[in-house]
Amino acid sequence: MCSSARCLALLWALLASTVALGQAPSARFSLGVAGQPVADAWNPLRLELRDAPPATLTLQIDQGTLRSGELPLTVSHAVRGGAGISVFETTVYLPRFARLAWRLATPDRVLASGSVEGREADARPLDLLLSNLPGSYRAAYATAYGPGARLADVVASDLPSEPAAYDGVRTLLIDGSAAAPRLESVAAAAAGGATVVLLGPLPPSHAELELLLAGGAHARLGAGAVVASGAGPETALTAAAALATPARDTLLAALLEEPLVAPPTPAKQSLVALALAAFALLALLLVRWAGAPGLVGVLALVALVSVVGWRALRPATPQLERDLTLALAGDGLALEVRAREVLTLPRSALSYGGRARPLRPQPYRVDDAGTHLTLERWRAAMLELAPRLADAPLLWDGEALRNVGREPVRDLVRVGAGPLGDLAPGASAPTPTEAGDWPRYAALLPLLPDGTVVGRSACDDVCTVWVLYPPAAVDAAAGAGEAPPARAATPLLTAPSPFVQTGLSSQGGAPAASLQDAGRAE
């Protein structure tokens, strides 16, 4: 027992410490949809702060391997913070990493930090389950996609509304048993490349999701598709698997088999040597025999040779750049992935606004201003800008094609049927041309399913290659039912690090940790 004064003092101290703890700033860091990041894909990053001052969030990712050594990727963003809860969201490209560390810090102190080991990196695509009974779908997924499916239980609020955030998502199953998601999030998932499975019958709260189906049971939207089925999860997932398309990375790599920019062709060695030898000989002769006028002539000759040589041999710009956009279109929406090749002649520090990532591993930095990397002399880098949505000019109008855009779509090819020609704005019948396939299609066409239409537009400056998959109903009816291959590793990457494990890992018998880290105030 304690005396009343001592008890009061103890109680006061307890209350004061509780209040103090409650007021300490806290941060909750989450990478990946529902804290399940997919390596070699764009992932959503979310940071929830409580009572935190303005600070800087920094991610240090070592994407190196034993062979390459450390290849740092640094992502840093200013986070506003403030009283109460504030949320910071962005999308980052997560390569296979050896180690990932994050830190939220002000100039004076570190507010929160955490780290994840490389063995947590998992490149398998996610299958999201928005259901109160997620465990009941494991067998159906194993049937449709094989035993290696990576299922993740999510709630509606876990779903991002940016299409790029679904880069690593293969399917999103909604059975109506959980709270309804926002239509924008589901549309973003489909347009971003995931197959959305609406397992019916859905309750009235989910009715707006049927808008995505445009009255049918299957629909393509952007790079993905929406499937509705009331015939049980196996049938629905088999139909979804039949709609699977080749991985975006694979298609982009096929388009980029040939470099986009070519280095300047050097002048012939013999020509340069002969020209300078002639100059030297003439200068010596003038100096030896022509006296003062000869000396003036030599100076004029120096100026002439220098100016002509400079103008003839100097490339117009220190950097050569060219873009190529791959647009995966469906139902008027397209997921655009822009690749940019830059070749720098002098060593340069390059900066690009927005989010981008080099296709081959190399050190780079991302911040609020954009993406920054340094290239050595005469080196090229291929960058992939974060996927984004755009209007698609190519549409299926029944079995016919229609160009609803403002520009003509050229060099149309239907896989399995051959060249179609050009399609003028507003037209629904291509005009045959004598030109054959565009050379860049050569590696792309064999990867696409029969019936897919490929075309290109605006190749003067930025070339866009449109890929329009056959209507979903046609594909689903074909119903191959074969499990598509798991998401292929980026063909442009080198061998994976021995430190990186693609399977779920656990530490000390504990279940595998998600990449959700509740940082403690330090």
Partner 1 sequence: MRFLDALAARLARSDMLQALTLLLAVLLVVLAFSWPGGNALVNEAWFSLAPIRHALLALAAAAFGASLAPATAGAGVAWRHEARVTLAALLVWALVTLPFEVIAHAASYPAVSLAWGLLTAPLTVVAYYGLGALLARGARALRAAWALPLLVPGSLVLLAWVDLQLGATLLNPWTAPLDPSPAYLAVMGGGAILTAMGLTLERRPRRAEPA
- Told to check if 15 binds partner 1 by CB under 8 A, we report no
- Told to check if 473 binds partner 1 by CB under 8 A, we report no
Return d(Cα 184, Cα 157) in angstroms, integer: 12
Nearer of residues 309 and 332 to partner 1, judged by Cβ:
309
Nearer of residues 15 and 285 to partner 1, judged by Cβ:
285
Nearer of residues 273 and 495 to partner 1, judged by Cβ:
273
Return d(Cα 244, Cα 196) in angstroms, integer: 11
- Candidate residues 4, 310, 398, 511; the one interacting with partner 1 per rule CB under 8 A: 310
Element (H, E) at 13: helix 4-23
The mark string for 275-294 relative to partner 1 (x by CB under 8 A, - otherwise) is -xx-xx--xx--xxxxxx-x
Return d(Cα 11, Cα 158) in angstroms, integer: 40
Site for partner 1 in 377-436 (CB under 8 A): 377-378
Site for partner 1 in 430-469 (CB under 8 A): none
Angle, CA of 374, 353 and 338, to the nearest 5°: 90
Nearest distance, CB of residue 491 and partner 1, angstroms? 24
Site for partner 1 in 315-374 (CB under 8 A): 315, 318, 345-348
Q: Which span (119-127, 296-304, 324-332, 459-467) binds partner 1, by CB under 8 A?
A: 296-304
Q: Which span (154-162, 243-251, 298-306, 491-499) binds partner 1, by CB under 8 A?
A: 298-306
**Angstrom distances, CA of residue 425 to CA of 34, 69, 410, 467:** 42, 51, 11, 17
Residue 60, helix vs strand vs coil = strand
Burial of 310 (0-12, 13-18, 19+ CB in 10 A): exposed
- Told to check if 511 binds partner 1 by CB under 8 A, we report no
- Candidate residues 3, 269, 368, 511; the one interacting with partner 1 per rule CB under 8 A: 269
Q: Which span (2-10, 75-83, 135-143, 302-310) binds partner 1, by CB under 8 A?
A: 302-310
Alpha-helix runs per DSSP H in 266-290:
269-289
Cβ pair 47, 85 in contact under 8 A = no
Nearer of residues 289 and 460 to partner 1, judged by Cβ:
289
Return d(Cα 390, Cα 327) in angstroms, integer: 9
Element (H, E) at 303: helix 291-313
User: Count of residues binding partner 1 (CB under 8 A)?
Assistant: 41
**Angstrom distances, CA of residue 329 to CA of 43, 168, 234, 286:** 22, 18, 27, 69
Nearer of residues 67 and 377 to partner 1, judged by Cβ:
377
Which of 154, 222, 160 has its CA nearest to residue 185?
160
Nearest distance, CB of residue 300 and partner 1, angstroms? 11
Other Cβ atoms closer than 10 A to 461: 7
Nearer of residues 259 and 416 to partner 1, judged by Cβ:
259
- Candidate residues 2, 10, 302, 442; the one interacting with partner 1 per rule CB under 8 A: 302
Which of 215, 216, 173 has its CA nearest to residue 198?
173
Cβ pair 469, 220 in contact under 8 A = yes
Nearer of residues 58 and 374 to partner 1, judged by Cβ:
374
Q: Looking only at Cα atoms, what is the longest distance across the chain? A: 119
- Candidate residues 107, 147, 204, 266; the one interacting with partner 1 per rule CB under 8 A: 266
Q: Which residues bind partner 1 (CB under 8 A)?
A: 263-267, 269, 272-273, 276-277, 279-280, 283-284, 287-292, 294-296, 298-299, 302, 305-306, 309-310, 312-315, 318, 345-348, 377-378
